Amino acid sequence: MILLVKCAPVVIDSLRESQLNQVVAASWLRLAWAATSANGERCFSFDPFTHVMTSHELVYSEDDLDDDDPALKVSTDLERLLELMPPLVADRLNHPSMPTFKLRDIIFDLGQPARAFLMNSHGNEMIVLSDELGGNVTQEHLENVLLKLDGKFGPDNRAGLNGCLHRISAMRNLQSDIYGLTFRVGRSVRGNATMINDLLMGSSASILVMGVPGTGKTTIVREICRVLAQDYKNCIVVDTSNEICGDGDVPHPSVGLARRMMVPSLAEQGKVMIECLQNHTPDVIVIDEIGRKQEVEAAKTVKQRGVRLVASAHGDLRTLMKNTELRGMIGGVETVTLGDEAAKKNHGSKLQAQRQGEPTFDVIIELTAGELHKWRVVTNVAVAVDSILQGHKYQAQQRRRDVSRRVMSLELVCN
């Protein structure tokens, strides 16, 4: 601070009046933010032309922060999903006092209380719907839902609603009769991908979004599709169970101009990825969930052909490295035998694990349950994997979004 005060006269003399006014305005904005922020942390935005990370106060003015247009626009089309429910259940879940933006799943299991799960930072919150249902779930309740779905379940036991992002999944007994239903609330969040604008628009990095179920992976991937397609990219979604683009032949408006190739069954996802690559000249291929070895191999082929990849997977970087079927996405792991001199540096052990090749994905985004506005971003997967294999922590960026202020902050963390 003392050095800044000393050099201020020289800086002021070197600036034109218009530049000086901009610097003064930005300085006051920076001061106001630091005074009210919990840690005095520095906020950042992205330059609208170069998409490079820039101090927020240099890009936006005080007037921009007062804009009534929300930073994030959430759309759930919840009423369409609730049409499948008994009226009292629908009324309870759509009541003004219900935080519908947190609603994740609704469960109907035969002979059990119907219940709904809400997402929050402390874990799931469960709401029991026995009173609204008049007791436990009966066969009649299930049949009423199935009648409205009109046999739309595919071989993966999933069904959707035409033009919607919701998913209905069935549990079957050994005679193939349905005894349980999970209603997953689908939503689009316009503006959600701005947290990684530099990685989307300022680079060609392939991105893997990771997290446990319910952390919002699909919602983020969906918005990434829209942003990349809007940037004149031929962005094609290999859409298993119509999870990203919604049910029906026309993709949901939330993915913009992104195209969609449907996948008949989970077993064929890798095959459709290669078909997409060979037939449709994609700039970007998007896969909602990579969970099998054949999809890992297909992803490698896509990357080797120079096509950008965006995908999601369960877990985080460390759990991915332990998964022998999936760790090919981060270069794979092999064990090598060291010479005597190298073994001395390896605590006497002649065996050492090392990365087998280049990662398929350059960037990994790690999500935490209930933390919709806090993402951990690994910007160099190869370096992070090498650090873990050497027994060290890996460095990542902790990006936070303050929706009310429409700003973001960044902190370097080690995991």
Q: Last residue of a domain, which of 32, 48, 65?
A: 65
Which pTM does this prediction carry? Answer: 0.85
Q: What confidence tier does 125 reach under pLDDT thresholds 50, 70, 90?
A: confident
pLDDT attached to residue 57: 67
Residues 380 and 328 occupy one common structural domain: yes
Residues 195 and 254 occupy one common structural domain: yes
pLDDT attached to residue 228: 96
pLDDT attached to residue 342: 65
Residues 212 and 345 occupy one common structural domain: yes
Nearest Cα to 35, choosing from 410, 405, 398, 411? 405
Where is average pLDDT lowest: 72-86, 120-134, 256-270, 274-288?
A: 120-134
Could you tell me the CATH number of the domain that includes residue 271?
3.40.50.300
Q: What is the per-residue pLDDT across 63-95, written as a single tens digit (0 to 9) for each? A: 444 444 567 888 989 999 999 999 999 999 999
Phi/psi at 235 (5° precision): -100, 120
pLDDT attached to residue 66: 45
Q: Last residue of a domain, which of 44, 65, 86?
A: 65
Angstrom distance (rounded) from CA 340 to CA 344: 6
Residues 46 and 97 occupy one common structural domain: no
Angstrom distance (rounded) from CA 20 to CA 305: 49
Torsion of CA 154, 156, 158, 161, to 10 degrees: -40
Residues 192 and 129 occupy one common structural domain: no
pLDDT attached to residue 1: 58
Across the range 163-182, mean pLDDT stands at: 96
Residues 228 and 282 occupy one common structural domain: yes
Could you tell me the CATH number of the domain that includes residue 143?
3.30.450
Its domain, for residue 111, covers: 74-184
Q: What is the per-residue pLDDT across 15-44, written as a single tens digit (0 to 9) for each? A: 777 777 777 777 777 666 666 665 656 677
Q: What is the mean pLDDT of the chain?
A: 88
Residues 49 and 103 occupy one common structural domain: no
Nearest Cα to 371, choosing from 215, 213, 209? 215
Residues 407 and 295 occupy one common structural domain: yes
Angstrom distance (rounded) from CA 149 to CA 175: 20
Higher per-residue confidence, 37 vs 136? 136
Residues 53 and 169 occupy one common structural domain: no
Angstrom distance (rounded) from CA 371 to CA 245: 24
Any idea which residue has 């990662």 for tokens? 359
Phi/psi at 352 (5° precision): -145, 135
Residues 354 and 322 occupy one common structural domain: yes
Residues 36 and 169 occupy one common structural domain: no
How many domains is the chain built from?
3
Which tokens hold the place of 194? 């701005």
Residues 175 and 242 occupy one common structural domain: no
pLDDT attached to residue 379: 96
Angstrom distance (rounded) from CA 167 to CA 15: 58
